Structure formats: structure tokens, C-alpha cells
Structure 1
Amino acid sequence: MGIEIGGIFGLILLIAGIWAIVQTVQSRASTGAKVFWVVLILLLPFLGLVIWFFAGPRSARY
């Protein structure tokens, strides 16, 4: 088994980060708020995702 646990966790974190950024960009939040959340997610991948999950803007579909 060549794939490490850290590699799988990193891949999941990358996918979740991309999904969160797409959801943020599609939200009805202001441009400034969108920029803030995208930067937070990019600079603090795990913590930024956790904060975004609880406090971030939601998609415009809801």
C-alpha cells in the first residue's frame, strides 16, 4: 500500500478547499466577503475550512 495516510488526508483537504471556494464564490456575499473567505481558506487550509463551515457564506442556491 503505497499511499500514506497523510497523502489521503491532504487530497481530501484539497478537494474540500476547492469545494468551499466554489461555494463561496457562488454565494450572495459581497465581493469583499468572498475575497476574505477565499484568502482564509487558502492561507489556513484546515482551520479556514472549519471556520468557513460554521460561519462562512452559503451558496446562492439556498
Structure 2
Amino acid sequence: MELAFIQNIGGGFLIFLLFSLAYFILWVYCILDVIQSEFKDQNMKLIWIVILLFAQGFGPIAYLVLGRGTKKIA
């Protein structure tokens, strides 16, 4: 019964679900990393949080590429 249900919803839905889950995990990781990190400029923390909240498709990738350079070196 369950296998027939999975076959009826199609593989596209399963792939979409996996990508959505992976993106959500990436987004949560980036938010937590911004909150826990110290930045060279104190306003950068607020800027990155706003970018992550409002630029959903672009925010986490931009943070991973560009945000690392704005942190203080411990």
C-alpha cells in the first residue's frame, strides 16, 4: 500500500522534498553561523541576517561565498 502511494506521487516530488530539506538545513546553518560569529564591522551581522531572511534563494549561497571574508579572525 505505501509503495503504491510513493510510486503515484512520482519521483519529482521526492527530489523536490530532498532539495527543500537540504536548502532548509543550509539556511539554518547560515543563520546560526551569523548569530554566533563576530564581524569586523558590527553592522555586518544585521546586514547578513536581513539578506538571509529576505533573499531566500540567493542569501545562504552569498553568505557562504562572501560572508566569510567579513568575519574577525580569532
What corresponds to 1:9 in structure 2?
19
Unaligned 5+ runs, structure 2: 1-5
Aligned length: 61
State the TM-score, normalized to the length of structure 2: 0.65
Counterpart position of 1:46: 57
Tell me the TM-score normalised to structure 1 length.
Answer: 0.74
Structure with the bigger RCO (C-alpha within 8 Å, sep 6+) is 1
Report the residue type matching 1:25 in the other structure. Answer: I
1:60, CA displacement in angstroms?
Answer: 6.8
CA RMSD of aligned residues (A): 2.5
Flag structure 1 segments of 5+ consecutive residues without an equivalent.
Answer: none
Runs of 4+ displaced beyond 6 Å: 58-61
Higher helix fraction (1 or 2)? 2
Residues 10-29 of structure 1 correspond to what in structure 2 (within 5 A)?
A: 10-29=20-39
